[in-house]
Structure formats: C-alpha cells, structure tokens
Amino acid sequence: MDKFSTSQVHPEIIKALLEKGIDAPSEIQAKAIPILLTHSGDFIGRSATGTGKTYAYGAPLLSRIDTKSGKVQAVILVPTRELCEQVGQELMGLAQYMTELKIESIYGGMSLKAQIHDLSNGTQVVVATPGRLMDLVQRKVVHLETLHFVVFDEADEMLLKGFRTDIDKILATAQRNYATWLFSATMPDEISGIIQKYLHKELVRVQVGTIDRSNQGIRHQAIIVPAEDKMNVLLHYLKLYQGQKGIIFCRTKSGVQKLYKQLSAKKISSGAIHGDLPQGLRNKVMEQYRAGYIDLLLATDVAARGVDVEDVAIVIQYHLPDTAEAYTHRSGRTSRAGKTGTSLTFVFPEELDKLKILEGELHIQLKQQPIPSVKDQLVNKAILWGAKIAKEKPVGDKLDEATKKEFKGQLMHLSKDELLEKLLATYLREQQG
C-alpha cells in the first residue's frame, strides 16, 4: 500500500486522514492494513513505538464494522487509562465522518454510571482496560455475543502483567469465532506460550524493524553519575532543554512525588502522574502537558504505555529501567512519527553491569555523556535560581512597610545591572562556600 487515498480503507476514513495531511502510510501501516482489511484469521503486528500502530489496526478495523448494527463488534484492550483515552480519541478522529459508527472508551477511575449510559445507545467499538470491561460484562451492560474482533494493544503488557484473569473472564462470554489482533513494540520470549492461548485462527505475522531494536530516530545516551550529583546533573540537562517538552521516568510512585516536590521547590514547572493519583487529576496534568502549559512530565512506567505527545525532545530515565521492554517503551515517547529525539539514562557506577546487560538485550550502545563540570553545574543552577526569583510572589503583608523601606534603601543606589551582578555574585559565593 503506497497511499491511503488509493487504498481499500473506508472512504470516510481516508477523508479524515487527508484532512490531517496524512496520505503516505508508515511501514507498519503499509504492511498491516492490506492484510487486515480482508484477513479473517488472527494477526500479530510488531514495530517500534511511535510508528503508527493505532492507525495500522484502527483504519482496517473501523472499515470492517457494520454500522447498520448497534451491537458490539470489536473490543480493543489496553493496559492503562491513559492509553485507553488516547486510543479512543485517535479512533474517533479516524471515524469522524462515519456518523453511524459509535466508539466508547471505558476505564476505571471514571463514573461507572456515566459509562453505562454512554454504552446504552448502540456502541459498536469498545476501547477498554480489562478491569472495567470485566465489571460491565458481569453487570450485563456489555454483551459480546456478536464480537468479531479483539485487539490487544501493547500485547506484551496485557498478557504479562496480571491482566489475564480479567481477559479470560471477558472473552468467556464471547463466541469463539472472533479474530484476534495483537500489536506491540516488544514481544519478550516468555509471551510466546501465552499468545497461543488467545490465537485460534489462521495466523499472519508482520514485523517491522529488527527484533528488540528501539526506534532508530532516538539518540540513546547514558550518564554515569554518583548519587550525590544526580540532582545537579538533572538541573543541568533541564537547563539545556528549557522550553522543550521532556519526560522524566522514575521507578516508583514515591520517586515521582519526591522529584516533583524537589523541582517545585526550585520553581521548575512540571506535572506528575502515577497510579495513585485520581483519574481526574491525571487527565488534568496530561491536558496541561499536551497544551504546553507545562513542558516537563514526571511519570512512572504506567505512563510509558499511554503518553503519545508530539515533539517530546528528551526522555530522561532518572532511574535505570529494570527490563529492556521498559527501556523501549520509555524511550519511545520521543522520536515519534519519524522525528528524532534523545533518551538519556542516569546510571549509578554500581549499575554498570546492569547497563551492559540492557545494551546487549536491546542490541544498541548508549553513548556515554561526560558529567557536566562543576562550573557548568554551578552556572546552570544560578540561571535556574534567577528563574525562581523571577517567579517569586511579592512578600505582601509578611513584612511591615518600614522594614521593606529599610531593605530597599540598602539597594536603591544600585543600577539595575549592578543589582543583577551583585545577586549573581552573592549566589555563586554562597554555593561555593
């Protein structure tokens, strides 16, 4: 398939794509879509993050929905709330001119009553996290007897991370004549036996790129840094990428919260998301991030599967990931849709052996970056300190007017440039002890 405009994709979907300026498919789309438009059996599609897998299954799936029927014909299972919302939005964008096609996204953390209401009016495509869908199936709100397609998005995460019990309960209510489509950026060896349980028809596989190799548009970098220098080095890189979108991944929820407090104390604007935050707050943070009100997102791995934001310049892995799959999905938040980006991994000296294992599994070498000099770190800290002062609110009524007048009197004779020079000199002297 060379172009969407000359393909067998539904004309209304082609219209929506062309309005977005999309006619040339990505490699996974070009290879998968012609097969999925007609194939009645099962399918496995694998390509790096940011290569357009949602459209690769979404365009043919929506093209095959019978819009004259108000029954559920397709279920797309995803591991996280963020990914559920993202996939639902992308599919609704594809189907914007298919007025009789109804798509609903359902996930935990949102009003069950509202979701039941949304599903009551002829939904044909359901995008869902397994727990919430199982609940609605057991309540007999969602009926899957007419199911034709089941899509596992981020299939490795779905089948390896504790979702299988819910998935089995969901699919037990469906007829076994549906086709199963699995899409993911990674397919670890341990998933092979699990997959066979969910595949029961003639299987076709499409793989784009080399096994276990990350997106080739990413500059993979590592910096070996002692624990006591970690924050200063982070501040150095935040200064270098100031004004550009970035994501910092921490291993734990507490790690995200701790870093968020540290950066907030320095008046560095950021937002944090992790599994303990209410869904409404997570949505608000993501809206602010996408809209550009904040440039820096702090997250646990839960977000690596659900954040699809354009123009992320850098991903900082503040803690070394535990697996090659986690590294792939974290770093894949940058360099999306053919663009380039940087993935910078912080590594403690005692973690060098783990880094070598990770590089071997990924078949890549992370280019080691030098630790910024003491002078560079100090200069960047001073600049960030200046930015903090600029954002500081006036003291208001914390001091009486006489005290404020006396303080200002000490500095009134200085010109603006002299005052700024003395502020900088004072900061540098205090930092150097």
| Domain range summary for the chain, segments of one domain joined by + | 11-207, 218-374, 393-431
In the structure encoding, which two tokens stand for residue 189, read together? Answer: 């060896």
Q: Which of 262, 374, 256, 380 is nearest to 316 (CA)?
A: 256
The domain 11-207 belongs to what CATH superfamily?
P-loop containing nucleotide triphosphate hydrolases (3.40.50.300)
User: What angle is formed at CA 379 by the lines to CA 372 and CA 394, rounded to 5 degrees?
Assistant: 135
Residues 6 or more apart from 7 whose CB is under 8 A from it?
1, 14, 33, 34, 37
Query: 11 or 389, which is more confident?
Result: 11
Over range 266-293, report the average pLDDT. 85
User: Mind listing the pLDDT tens digit for each residue in 54-100?
Assistant: 999 999 999 999 999 999 999 999 988 888 988 999 999 999 999 99
210 band by pLDDT with thresholds 50, 70 and 90: low
User: Mind listing the pLDDT tens digit for each residue in 356-368?
Assistant: 999 988 888 899 9
User: Mind listing the pLDDT tens digit for each residue in 299-326?
Assistant: 988 766 667 777 889 999 999 998 888 8
Phi and psi (nearest 5°) for 221?
Answer: -130, 155
In the structure encoding, which two tokens stand for residue 98, read together? Answer: 């298919």
Over range 246-254, report the average pLDDT. 92
In the structure encoding, which two tokens stand for residue 377, read together? Answer: 């770190």
> Strand ranges (DSSP E) for 229-289?
245-249, 271-273
Over range 111-133, report the average pLDDT. 89
Over range 248-262, report the average pLDDT. 92
Rounded distance, CA 54 to CA 137, Å?
A: 25
Angle at which helix 324-331 crosses helix 352-362, to 10 degrees, equals 80
pLDDT at res. 337:
60
Going from the C-alpha of 348 to that of each of 6, 43, 222, the distances in angstroms are: 52, 41, 10
Rounded distance, CA 354 to CA 366, Å?
A: 13
Going from the C-alpha of 99 to that of each of 20, 93, 218, the distances in angstroms are: 18, 12, 39
**Topology agreement, domain 11-207 and domain 218-374:** yes
Q: Is 211's pLDDT higher than 60? A: no
| 132-136, 183-187, 202-206, 286-290: segment of lowest average pLDDT | 183-187
pLDDT at res. 303:
61
User: Mind listing the pLDDT tens digit for each residue in 13-64?
Assistant: 999 999 999 999 999 999 999 999 999 999 999 888 778 899 999 999 999 9
Over range 400-417, report the average pLDDT. 83
CATH 3.40.50.970 fits domain 218-374: no
Q: Is 227's pLDDT higher than 70? A: yes
Rounded distance, CA 24 to CA 46, Å?
A: 19
Q: Tell whether pTM > 0.75.
A: no
